[in-house]
Chain A
Amino acid sequence: MNLRITLRALTLIAFLILGLGQANATFPGKNGRIAFVQGPDIFTMNPDGTDVKQLTNLGPDSGAFWQSWSPDGKQIAFSKVGPPDFLGQIWLMNADGSNQHALLAEPDFHNEGPSFTPDGNAVIFTRCRLDLPETCALYQMNVTGGGLTAITKYELGIGEWRPKYSANGSLEFQGTGIEGIGCALYLRADSLAGQRRITPAALSAATPEWSPDGRRIAFSTHCDNPQNEEIWVVNAESHLLHRLTRNGNDYFAGPHDFSPSWSPEGDAIVFQRVAPDLSSSSIVIMKADGSSSKTLLTLRPSARTNKSLDNRIHELGRGAAKRRLKEIEEGGVLPQWGVAPR
C-alpha cells in the first residue's frame, strides 16, 4: 500500500512539475485510426473503413488482441499468446506495426489487456495468478520495462479486467465476482479512497472505455448472461445511465454489441456488433448519442483458425461459465480508436 501511495504521489508531482496538460496528455485529440483484431492479428484502418493495414503477422498458433493506443497515438500496447505455454504476454509496437517487442512475459502469470497511463510512460494491465483459479489483479509497469507494481490486491476468485485511466488519472475497470456481483464497473478516483461500483449489478457491465473528457464511461452489458449485449454510457460522477443501443429481449433475434471505444474528439463511438445468429461480426460506428449508426466492416466471427489456441486462451485466467459468450468477446474485433499522431 505504501508503495502504491508513493507511486501515486510521484505521478501527481510529476504532472505538476512537468506541467503536462491534463486535456492533451492522454486520449483526447484529433480522430486518428481504428485498431481492431481479425483472426490472430491486429489491424488498423481509417474511421471510414478505408486503408486497412495489418500490423502483426503471427500465424495460426499465436494471437494478438486487447490492443490499446498510447495517448499520442504513436504506440499500441497489446496482449499476445503463443507457444509453448500460451500464457498472455504484454507487448508494445509502433502504430505502423514496427518495433514489436515484449514488455512482460512471465512463466508463472497470465497477463492481458494493457492500456496506457495518461502520461504514456506506463501501462496498466490484468495479471492473473496461475496457482489460484480465476484470481486476477491490476498491475502497472513502465513502457521502458521494469517497475512492475501492484495496483490492486489478489483475492481468490476475484477478477479485475480492462483497466483504463482517464485523462485526469481516474482508473476504471471491470470487476468479476466482487461482493457477489457477476460483472460491474468500478472506479478508483483516488487510491487512498479505494474503489466504488458505478454500474448496477443487473446490467452486468463489461469492456469499459473512458470518454476523452474523462466524465463518462461507455461499456457493454450482460457480460455473463444470455441477454442481448448493448452499449450503454455511465456518468462517472452521478452514475446516471444512458442506453445507446437497444437490441431487444430475444437472444437470437437481436444483435450483440461489445467493446465500445470513443473517438478522441468525443463525437462518436465505434463498437463490435455480432449478428443475432452469431454468424458474423461487424465494426459499427455511431454518434456519441447513439444515433446514425453505420457499419464500417464485416468480419467472420472468431476468425482464429486454431481452435485449440482459442480453447487454451479461454482456460487461462477465466472461468468456464459462458464459453460461447467469451468466444465472441475475446475472439472479437475489439475496435479501439486512436489519436491522430502529430
Chain B
Amino acid sequence: MQSSSSRHAFLSSCFVAGLTLILFSALASATFAGKNGRITFVADLSGTFQLYTINPDGSGLFQVTSLPTTSNSTWFPDYSPDGKQIVFCHDMTGSLELYVINGDGTGLKQITKIDGTDKLFARWSPDGRRLVFLRVEGILEAISLMPSDGSGEIRDLTRDPWDVYQPTFTPDGRHILFGSREGGLVSAIWIMNLHGTDKRRLTKAPIEAGGPDVSPDGRHVIFYSRQNTVRPGHVFVMSVDGKGTTQLVPNDLVSYFPTYSPDGKKIAFEGDSLGSANIFTMNADGSDITKITNNLVENCGGNCVIADWGVEPVE
C-alpha cells in the first residue's frame, strides 16, 4: 500500500495530470493514506444521536445526519478511502442496517436489506469497492464482505462459534484484522486473509485487545485494552506481526477506539476523564495528547465516542 507520507507528498505535489492518471489505480487500491481530513463521530448534541464531523483541531463542527431518534449511540462510522462518504449502522428499521452518506449530509442510502440479521462494524476496503462488517444472526456472528454499493451478495468469511467483532482491512487490502474471543479469551486481535483462512492471533492474554486500526503504511496496529470488560481500557500500539506491544496513552486517561490519521503521523481516540468522553488527538508515538472536543458525552461508561479520521477529499 501506499505507504506513507512520502507517497502522499508525491501524489499531492501536482505532477502532470497524465502521470496522476497513470498512478490512479495504484492509489485507488492503496487508499486510506492521504492528506488529513476531518474526523467523524456520533454524539447526542441535539437531543438525539446524530453523525458529526469535525476538523482535527476541534473547529468546524458539522452535523451530517438528521435521522430519527435512537437510543443506539454506536454507529461505528467509517470514512470511504476518498474521504467523500461515510458508512455507518443504524437501527431505524428495527434492525441494524448499513447506510452510506456523503460527508455533506446528502445522498443517504441504505445498502443492506432487512433479512433478520444485524449488520455493524462496517469498514471500507482500501479500493472502496467492498465493505467488511459483522453480521449477527441470533447468537451467531460472522465477519462478512459485500460490495460497498449494496449490490451483490453478502459473503461470510467466518463461521466459527466464537464471538467476533471490529473487522478492518490492512492497507494492502489482502488481510482483515478483527477482534475475537476464540480460544476462550476475553478478547484478542486476529488476522486472516479474505477467504477467512490462515487465521493467526496477534495479541496475548491478559491484555484483552480490541478495536484494531492499521497504520497507513501497513506496519503498525493500534488498539485498546480491556475489550469486553468493565475495566478501563488504554490505547496500545504493536507491529503488524503482533510484536513490540507498547502502551501509548497513560493510565490516567482512559482511552478507547484509536484511529490513525491518513498521513499516519497522528492518532485520534476516545478519552474518558471526570465522567466525560471526548475525542483526543496525539502523535503516533503517544506524545502531545490534545483534547479537541468539549465534554462530548457526559457520564460515559466507556466506548462512547467511536471516531474515524478521514482523508481530505480531492475534488
Q: Which residues of A contact B (CB under 8 A)?
A: 132-135, 156-157, 177, 179-184, 200-204, 224-227, 249, 251, 319, 321-322, 324-325
Distance (Å) between the CB of B150 and the closest chain A CB?
Answer: 28
Q: Is the interface of B mostly helix, strand, loop or mixed?
A: loop
> Which A residues touch B230, using CB under 8 A?
132-135, 156-157, 319
Contacts A179-B206, A224-B181, A321-B228 given: A249-B161 contact, CB under 8 Å? yes
> Which B residues touch A133, using CB under 8 A?
230
Complex CA–CA separation, A134 to B231 (angstroms):
10
B139 with A180: CB separation less than 8 A: no
Complex CA–CA separation, A132 to B185 (angstroms):
22
Distance (Å) between the CB of B163 and the closest chain A CB?
Answer: 6
Q: Which residues of B contact A (CB under 8 A)?
A: 138-141, 161-163, 181, 183-187, 205-208, 226, 228-231
Contacts A177-B186, A204-B184 given: A324-B207 contact, CB under 8 Å? no
B161 with A181: CB separation less than 8 A: no
> Which A residues touch B186, using CB under 8 A?
177, 180-182
Complex CA–CA separation, A199 to B187 (angstroms):
18
- 20 cross-chain CB contacts under 8 A: A132-B230, A134-B230, A156-B230, A157-B226, A157-B231, A177-B186, A180-B185, A180-B205, A201-B183, A202-B184, A203-B184, A224-B181, A226-B141, A226-B161, A227-B162, A251-B140, A251-B161, A319-B230, A324-B138, A324-B139
Complex CA–CA separation, A182 to B184 (angstroms):
6
Complex CA–CA separation, A181 to B139 (angstroms):
20
> Which A residues touch B161, using CB under 8 A?
225-227, 249, 251
Distance (Å) between the CB of A221 and the closest chain B CB?
Answer: 9
Complex CA–CA separation, A203 to B182 (angstroms):
10
> Which A residues touch B229, using CB under 8 A?
134, 157, 177
Distance (Å) between the CB of B117 and the closest chain A CB?
Answer: 14
With A134-B229, A157-B226, A225-B181 already in contact, 17 other A-B pairs whose C-beta atoms are closer than 8 Å: A133-B230, A156-B230, A179-B206, A180-B186, A180-B208, A181-B184, A182-B181, A201-B183, A201-B205, A225-B163, A225-B184, A226-B140, A226-B141, A319-B230, A321-B228, A324-B138, A324-B139
Complex CA–CA separation, A177 to B186 (angstroms):
7
Q: Across the two chains, which residue of chain B brings its CB closest to A155?
A: B231
Complex CA–CA separation, A178 to B285 (angstroms):
30
> Which A residues touch B183, using CB under 8 A?
201-202
A251 with B139: CB separation less than 8 A: yes
> Which B residues touch A251, using CB under 8 A?
139-140, 161
A156 with B231: CB separation less than 8 A: yes
Complex CA–CA separation, A204 to B208 (angstroms):
16
A226 with B139: CB separation less than 8 A: yes
Complex CA–CA separation, A328 to B150 (angstroms):
37
Complex CA–CA separation, A224 to B181 (angstroms):
9
Complex CA–CA separation, A279 to B186 (angstroms):
29
Q: Across the two chains, which residue of chain A brings its CB closest to B232?
A: A156
Contacts A225-B163, A226-B140 given: A200-B228 contact, CB under 8 Å? no
A201 with B140: CB separation less than 8 A: no
Distance (Å) between the CB of A20 and the closest chain B CB?
Answer: 38
Q: Across the two chains, which residue of chain B brings its CB closest to A132?
A: B230
Complex CA–CA separation, A227 to B184 (angstroms):
11
Complex CA–CA separation, A177 to B184 (angstroms):
10
A201 with B184: CB separation less than 8 A: yes
Complex CA–CA separation, A134 to B302 (angstroms):
15
Complex CA–CA separation, A200 to B184 (angstroms):
8
> Which B residues touch A227, using CB under 8 A?
161-162
> Which A residues touch B162, using CB under 8 A?
225-227
Interface centre among B141, B184, B205, B208 (most CB of A within 10 A): B184
Complex CA–CA separation, A322 to B162 (angstroms):
12
Complex CA–CA separation, A181 to B161 (angstroms):
17
> Which A residues touch B140, using CB under 8 A?
226, 251
> Which B residues touch A157, using CB under 8 A?
226, 229-231
